[in-house]
Amino acid sequence: MSTSPNIARVARVVAAKDLRIEMRSHIVVQQVLPFAGLVMVMFAFALDNDDVLQRVAGGLVWLATLFSLFIVVQRSYAIETSDGALDALRVAGVDSQGIFLGKSAALFVQLITLELLLFVLAVVLYQVQLSLAGLVLLVTCVLCATAGLAFVGTLYGGLTAGAHGRETLLPLLLLPVVAPVVLSATRATESAFLSGGAVLADGWPWVGVLAVFAALFGIGGLLSFGALIEE
């Protein structure tokens, strides 16, 4: 069993490794970001109404994030399992909590990049309006929601890593878990956009739910990730 004294150091190294691989492979930039952008365009085709698009823009951004989350999580573990890298990390005595935090941090950075693009697209394609106060709410919401998504993504990705049929199992496991994130983040984003008569102050309780979600699954992940990846 590992007795690594510095979880933060392991987390930093693992996160830097994951991000370096992504920067060199360009998979996120060349495939995931265009995919997410296309999803936003497809929503516009399907709904075909500017008022409706403006009204539901928040939900569409989070749905596009969710779809992309599956791809990013699978990608995050594909680089670990293809050469047995995860097993090598464990055999080398690397702390599982450090791996969990590191992979979550890398996922967090990738998702934030993706969401930045999606929100820019929402402003451009769906013509949503954003005030300064709305921007503060939106940024807080995005940070909390993305932390929660990164934690559960890392956790369930680790669970299905290397398993047969993981492409289909991951959405089945992740979707019910992230439902509170989609619900809360959408409501908070609608408040930030003031869409459909939403009030800015109504958004903050939802950010509270997102923060609780991130904290619970962060702690849950730290405690259980080791048991999931031990073989």
Partner 1 sequence: MNSTAVRSVGTPSTRLFGLLAIACMTWVVVGGLFFTPADLNQGESVRIMYVHVPTAWVAYLAFIVTGVASAMFMFGKKHSLGFDRVAGASAEVGLMFMAITLISGSLWGRLTWGTFWEWDPRLTTTAFLFVTYLGYMAVRGLGGSPQQRARRSAVVAMLAVLEIPLVHFSVVMWRSLHQRASVLSTDGDIKMDGLMLTTLFVGVIGFTCTFAWLVSHRQRVMAMRDILLATQLDSALNERIAEGSQS
Q: Which parts of this chain interact with partner 1 (CB under 8 A)?
A: 155, 159-160, 163-164, 169, 172-173, 175-177, 179-180, 183-184, 187, 202, 205-206, 209, 212-213, 216-217, 220, 224, 227-228, 230-231
Give the residue with the Cβ less far from partner 1, 42 or 179. Answer: 179
CB of 221 to partner 1, least distance (A): 9
Integer angstrom CA distances of residue 33 from 37, 72, 117, 161: 6, 10, 8, 23
145 CB-near residues (< 8 Å, 6+ apart): 62, 181, 184, 185, 188, 210, 214
- Nearest approach in angstroms of CB 155 to partner 1 is 7
Our CB check for partner 1 shows the closer of 102 and 203 to be: 203
Contacts of 32 (CB under 8 A, 6+ apart): 68, 71, 72, 75, 110, 114
Least distance to partner 1, CB of residue 59, Å: 12
Q: Give 117 or 185: the residue with its C-beta nearer to partner 1.
A: 185
Report the nearest approach of partner 1 to the CB of residue 12 (Å): 26
* Cα angle for residues 113, 110, 95 (degrees, 5° grid): 150
Nearest to partner 1 of 125, 169 (CB atom): 169
- Dist. CA 115–CA 111, nearest whole Å: 6
